[in-house]
Structure 1
Amino acid sequence: MEWFTAPDYWLSRLVFQRALAVLYLVAFLTAALQFRALIGERGMLPVPRYVARVPFARAPSLFQLRYSDRFFAGCAWAGCAVSAALVAGLDSLLPLWGAMLLWLVPWALYLSIVNVGQTWYSFGWESLLLETGFVAVLLGNDEVAPPIVVLFLLRWLLFRVEFGAGLIKMRGDECWRKLTCLDHHHETQPMPGPLSWFFHHLPRPLHRAEVAANHVTQLLVPFLLFTPQPVATAAAALMIVTQLWLVLSGNFAWLNWITIVLALSAVQFPADPPSVAGAPLWYEVVVLAVAAVLVLLSYRPVRNMISRRQVMNRTFDPLHLVNTYGAFGTVSRVRYEVVIEGTADEAPRENADWREYEFKGKPGDPRHWPRQFAPYHLRLDWLMWFAALSPAYAGSWFGVLVERLLENDRATLRLLRRSPFPADAPPRFVRARLFRYRYTTWRELRETGACWERTYVREFLPPTRLAEVAQRP
């Protein structure tokens, strides 16, 4: 069937697949390097306890069948290896069915991780990577031209990502409608980047223009994805530019990058297509059948998207096949941070030698300038931002974090930038205090060299010693 394929998109498919494989690699690397302290056997939210109470049907995962830290590490590093092979183009050397199976491997492995990751894997970009990765299985390799139906599914996904995010903003915080959200967002976002301070200090009229341009890109431009070329390419290019602007302004894991990757699939690159054989019948049947299922599963995400009670980042099936997305429906006006300190003194008096633990990404020392980590995802740092918004977000894991710090647990300390205590001399007490943070002005930056100014608000956790840690998962 000649209508089934679009040969002119062969380079779009190649760029999309290689870029997606890079994001898979980042995701698996993040899992391999952080899981022990987060969800390992001695983690803050251990997988064995989770799978003991959650049935396989609700959270399909290899780790429902068997779990050990060694097995999880093997799966995560295997995911890294397969992803690297896909980046190198191994799928193009295999027969069509082999390439599809190879693309299915990282999807199945990452699904297994996400479905037992609990709070640490509750972010929208986890489902977005899984949905994108599942559709990518159907794209084929150099044996066939890209199927039109699959290219449509990728645009449909990109449409839902952008349009859903635009709707949640217009329905959520009034500052989006008043064009004033960026007066606060760069200062209060979960994890600022090295340029966020400068973005915050841009002129307010430019902030208004940024918000207005965002509304256009998310609420109007997505419809142009379904128009003929070159209009669809122009629409995708505009989305890519917008996402790159967001990449510069903060650390949002791979959310912006995977949106860029999706947009690349809609770009028609000016390159002559190679000669390929027609798609085999079995391939056409599989693609059309799976596409029909995905379209049917889109009903609930679409119903949520058009609802006045729209919710962000919700998955409607345990395989994360079709999901709903959205971010920053509400923007905080004030930034709070939980600062964790320890002391080796015998008594935890206020004048004791309290030393601050430094995190890799979240603000701490006012003089420490933020670094760029995205697309790498610092999961503990992100959850610490939520903890500062409300202790309820930290109820299931914060007590265990404190316990691990009192033990000088190696896996936990690897998640931090610096521990103030030697490996063989853990603190006697650990406490947590809540501070209000704000960006310094240009004058304050010149005078103090600090990008943040912080003010003590209240006690978050009183001084606690190992025998007193009460809250456990």
Structure 2
Amino acid sequence: MWQGESYWLVRVVFQRGLALLYLLAFLVAANQFRPLAGEDGLLPLEWYVDGVSFRERPSLFYLVPTDRAIGITAWIGVALSALALVGVPYWLPTDLATPASMVLWATLWILYLSFVNAGQTFYGYGWESMLCETGFLAIFLGSGPVAPPFVVIVLLQWVLFRNMFGAGLIKLRGDDCWRDLTALDYHYETQPIPNPVSWFAHHLPDRFHRVETFGNHVLELLIPFLYFAPQPLSALAGLATIGFQGWLVVTGNFAWLNALTIVLAIPTFSDGVLASVLPISAPATAPTPLYLEAAAILLAVLVIALSVRPVKNMLSERQLMNTAFDPLHLVNTYGAFGSVTRDRYEVVVEGTTEDEISPETEWQSYRFKGKPTDPERRPPQVAPYHLRLDWQLWFAAMSPSPRRSPWFLRFLVTLLEADDETLDLLAEDPFDGERPTHVRAIRYRYRYTTPEERAASGRWWSRERVGTYVHPVTLEELRGRGPRSR
């Protein structure tokens, strides 16, 4: 350890933070996985089972592809996360604490990996792989009065480094706006799900946006090298990272990406640093058990071997973002927003109960929990909760048609059927559970109102129609497009 530093308190705080994120992730799975990727989901579970081998994407749901198994697994994950959150392994006798902790964290990892590998597009985010990778390393931290293996602390710092440095590199290599420092002129308006502060951040002076874009480069490209430095440099680097992620939390809704990065920054501290700011101190620790030290060394060898491809990718001119190089998501490559969209497009889904469509037909909009629909609605705060449908609608709107979003027409079918589980994913069903006769999807370009416009109209957004995404259709017409329409 650096200059005799200890990490017992670091482990306790880290495990509590990770357990909380696991709890949130399993709650999201319990509420959303079945309508999105279950037996009759928008991307049905059978598509996963038929499309890959178990070896390629292992999951419990490959073996038991049922909604019942999904529900049981999600709620078991919630329960086990709660046990980890309150620190149940620490209540056990010393000789049982670490084995129990390893079993608990290993079970959480296996359960969540099952959702990630079977979730298809709706689980194709970088923070899913990062939670799997971090959760796997947590298995080897130990529990009770024994000291955690220092090598695992370093491996957690290595995850944080790849997360931050990879994001910095992909920005420099990607969009010109990151190099000319104009990226944040657009980001707050065009990010997937803006929050209540995003409008205000967007209207900050251009000079501020230049300074914060430059600061982004410093924090992602230079600061990460200090994670491995002795104290207090490591802690200062971790503190800078937490402050940076905190600003992203305040100004956007990025699911648990920022929260997980903050949790990963905890191992940059030491017990001495944490004890100076927390109302508790670390007790005298017992030596790390030999079997745990041996397991940690084997783990380090595995991570080094699996890091070769992610590091090559990170240093490549054709760097991929948010990619797993092994089916267990053990060592991944990260990086987000290599390109920044200049215009914000939204798909607004509407329905009607009229039997015949005419120019006078009255259409009513479905409202979503996170993404903009009503220009007068203030952007909501939803993170660290993850609204998976809303995120995919943001991606879908980038294209003028649903050809690249094979789930979208199935989504329209569920609306025409007034499917309860799908409607639960929405903020408002304008038909109160009744079936509409027709639905359609209109594509708009959205922009934030200026301060003057908002003062006059009360609107947060201004929008203009740019096209029809899906023309008015009935349930029979969609079902006639093929057996997989639903």
| 2: CA distance, partners of 1:215 / 1:50 | 38
Amino acid at match of 1:100: M
Identify the range of structure 1 (263-272 vs 102-111) with the bigger mean alpha-carbon deviation. Answer: 263-272
Verify the 8 A CA contact 1:7 1:273 in the aligned structure 2: no
Residue 336 to residue 283, structure 1, CA distance change in 2 (3 Å): same
- Cα distance in 1 for partners of 2:13, 2:74 equals 24
Contact 2:2 2:230 survives alignment (8 Å)? no
Q: How does 1:196-275 map to 2 (within 5 A)?
A: 196-268=198-270, 269-271=273-275, 273-275=282-284
User: CA separation in 1, counterparts of 2:233 and 2:3?
Assistant: 20
Whether the aligned pair in 1 keeps the contact of 2:149 and 2:292 (CA below 8 Å) is no
Q: 1:67-90: CA deviations, max 9, x gaps?
A: 211111000000000001111111
1:413 corresponding residue in structure 2: 423
1:425-436 equivalent positions in 2, closer than 5 A: 425-436=434-445
Which residue of 49, 59, 62 corresponds with 1:61? 59
Q: CA deviation at 1:133?
A: 0.5
Query: In the alignment, does 2:401 pair up with 1:403?
Result: no
Q: Which residue of 2 aligns with 1:452?
A: 461
One-letter code aligned to 1:110 = Y
Q: Report the CA distance between 1:36 and its aligned residue.
A: 2.0
User: Among residues 361, 369, 392, which one is paired with 2:370 in the alignment?
Assistant: 361
Return the letter of the residue paired with 1:44.
L
Q: 35-44 or 457-466: which moved more?
A: 35-44
Contact 1:163 1:219 (8 Å CA) reproduced: yes
Deviation at 1:93, TM superposition (A): 2.2
Q: Supply the RMSD in Å over aligned alpha carbons.
A: 1.4
2:184 touches 2:209 (CA, 8 Å); kept in 1? Answer: yes
Q: Aligned partners of 2:234 and 2:333: how far apart in 1?
A: 23
The residue aligned with 1:92 is 90
Q: Which runs of 5+ in 2 are unaligned?
A: 276-280
Residue matched to 2:278: none
Q: Which TM-score applies when normalising by structure 2?
A: 0.94
Q: Percent identity?
A: 53
Q: Distance in 2 between matches of 1:71 and 1:460?
A: 35
From 282, 287, 296, the equivalent of 2:291 is 282
Deviation at 1:12? Answer: 1.2
Q: Are the counterparts in 1 of residues 347 and 393 from structure 2 also a CA contact under 8 Å? A: yes
Q: 1:70 to 1:408 in 2, by over 3 A?
A: same
Report if aligned partners of 2:2, 2:231 keep a CA contact under 8 Å in 1. no
**Mapped partners of 2:91, 2:105: distance in 1:** 13
**Matched ranges for 1:81-230 at <5 A:** 81-94=79-92, 95=96, 96-230=98-232
Label 1:431 to 1:44 Cα distance change in 2 as closer, same or farther (>3 A). Answer: same
Q: Which residue of 2 aligns with 1:13?
A: 11
Q: Is the 8 A contact 2:89 2:143 kept in 1?
A: yes
Counterparts of 1:61 and 1:15 in 2: how far apart (Å)?
30
CA distance in structure 2 between the partners assigned to 1:315 and 1:6 by the alignment:
35
Unaligned regions of 5+ residues in structure 1, if any?
none
Distance in 1 (alpha carbons) for counterparts of 2:391 and 2:412: 17
Counterpart CA distance in 2 for 1:4 and 1:367 is 54
**Residue 6 of structure 1 contacts residue 147 of structure 1 at CA under 8 Å; is this kept in 2?**
no
CA distance in 1, matches of 2:34, 2:186: 35
1:292 counterpart (272, 286, 301):
301
TM-score (norm 1): 0.97
Say whether the 8 Å CA contact 1:4–1:147 is kept in structure 2.
Answer: no
3-state SS of paired residue (2:347): strand
Query: CA 1:220/1:5 → structure 2, altered by over 3 Å: closer, same or farther?
Result: closer
SS at match of 1:8: coil
1:42 paired residue number: 40
C-alpha deviations, 1:314-349, integer Å up to 9, x for none?
000000000000000000000000000001111122
